[in-house]
Structure 1
Amino acid sequence: MSTETTAFHHVIRLAHPADIPAIRAMQERSIWEIGGAFYKSNEIANLLALCGTMDDAVVGEGHYLVAEDRHGAILGSGGWSRSRPGYADATAADDAAPGVAIVRSVFVDPAATRCGIASAIMSRTERDALEHGVDTLQLTATLSGVALYEALGYRTEAAMELTFADQSRFKCVRMQKSLAKTQNRSAA
C-alpha cells in the first residue's frame, strides 16, 4: 500500500505503532507553526494539553497513513476511522452514522507544506474509505485546514468550538464530503 510521489520524493504508507512518537512530534510542530497564524498560543497550548493531536488507537485500526521522505522522516499524517475521536467529548458532535467515517488527524510538517502531501494523503484516505464501504467522510477542520478541505470538495456543515473542561475554546469547522458522488463523477 505504499505509493511513491516524485513531486517531493515521499512515500505514503500505513502508520505503525512504532511511528507514533514521530507522528506526534510532527503534528505538534505543525499545529504550532501552521496553526499559529489562526490561533493564539494559549489556544494551541490548551488543545495540546487537554486533547492532543491524535488518538493513538486510530493507528491500530489500519486506516491511518503517514508520508515519509527517503530518509524515513515523517512529513505528514492522516486517515479515517469509524471510532468517535477523543475531542468529540468537547463538542456537540454525534457519533458517525452507518456508511459515515471520520477523517482523523491530518497534519503536514511545516517544512513540507505546499508539496501536495496533505492532498495525497486525503486522496488515499478517500479511496481506502470507499473500498471499506464508507460513502461519506466527515471531519472537524482546524481553521488552518479549511481551505485545503474546501479545495478537495468538502463542504462546511457548521462552525464550532471545542470546549474543554477548563472552559477554554478552540474554533474549528465541521465539514463533510459524499464519496459516492465523487465515485459516480469519476465513473462517468
Structure 2
Amino acid sequence: MTAIRAAQAADIPAIRSMQERSMRVLGGKHYAPDNIAAFVEQFGTMDFAVVGEGHFLVATDQHGHLLGSGGWSRLAPGYQRGSGAASPPRDIATVRGVFVDPAAARNGIGAAIMRHAEADAAKHGISMLRLTATLSGVALYQALGYRETARRAIELGENLSFGCVDMEKPLEKRAASQPGGELLISQS
C-alpha cells in the first residue's frame, strides 16, 4: 500500500533528493544531462515554500519511504517570476513539483497524487489548474485530461534550454472542506 499525505517541512530534504533523482533518470530520456543540470541549478525542482501552503503532498510506502510528490499552489513557479505575466485570478492555481521516484515509476503514484491534488484544489475554490509539464510528464497529464496550451523552451543560458509544455484543466466545483487524513492507494 501507498499512503498519500500532506508534506511537512521535515520532508523537504527527502523530497528534494527524490525530485532531483527523478529529473535526472526519468527526464534523462528527454533532456541532455547539461540541460537538466542547468535547470536544477537555476530553478531547483520546486519552491519549497509551497509545502507551507498546505496543498503539497507526498506518497510513501508502508515503511515511510518517499515515492512521489506533487500538489498545487497559488505562488508563481520560479521559472515564471519576472516574466511580466499578470498574477492569475484567485480561482486559478498551478500544479507544482510532481515527481515520482524512478524505482516506483509506472505504478500509478503520479496519477494518484494528481487526483488527490485536484480534489483538494476544487474544495478550495480553484476552478482551473495550470501546469508547465516536463517532456517526460506530458503523457501523464494528457491521460488525466489536461490539454496543451503552448510548447516553449525555458532559456538557461550558454546555448542551453529546457523544453516544456504548458497545460491546463478545468475543475468541477466541490464543497469547501479539507480532505481527511491519508489516502491509501494500491499499487498494481
Query: Which structure 1 residue ranges, 5 or more long, are not aligned?
Result: 1-8, 183-188
Root-mean-square deviation over aligned CA pairs? 1.9
Give the conservation status (yes or no) of the 8 Å contact 2:68–2:99: yes
TM-score by length of 2: 0.88
Higher relative contact order (CA 8 A, sep 6+): 2
- Paired position in structure 2 for 1:98: 90
User: Match for 2:147 among 155, 165, 169?
Assistant: 155
Distance 1:90 1:148 in 2: 28
- Paired position in structure 2 for 1:40: 32
Percentage identity across paired residues of the two chains:
55
Distance 2:133 2:14 in 1: 22
Matched, 1:177 2:169: yes
- Where 1:148 maps in the other structure, the secondary structure is helix
- Paired position in structure 2 for 1:111: 103
Indicate the structure with greater helix content.
1
**Residues 130-187 of structure 1: CA distance to partner in whole angstroms, max 9, x if unpaired?**
00000100000000000000000000000011123556311000000001399xxxxx
- Paired position in structure 2 for 1:168: 160
Give the conservation status (yes or no) of the 8 Å contact 2:123–2:173: no
- Where 1:59 maps in the other structure, the secondary structure is helix
Report matched runs for 1:1-188 at 5 Å. Answer: 9-89=1-81, 94-164=86-156, 168-180=160-172
Give the conservation status (yes or no) of the 8 Å contact 2:61–2:67: yes
Query: Which structure 2 residue ranges, 5 or more long, are not aligned?
Result: 175-188
User: How many residues in Structure 1 have an aligned counterpart in Structure 2?
Assistant: 175
Distance 2:159 2:87 in 1: 22
| CA separation of 1:109 and 1:96: change in aligned 2, threshold 3 A | same
Distance 2:82 2:25 in 1: 23
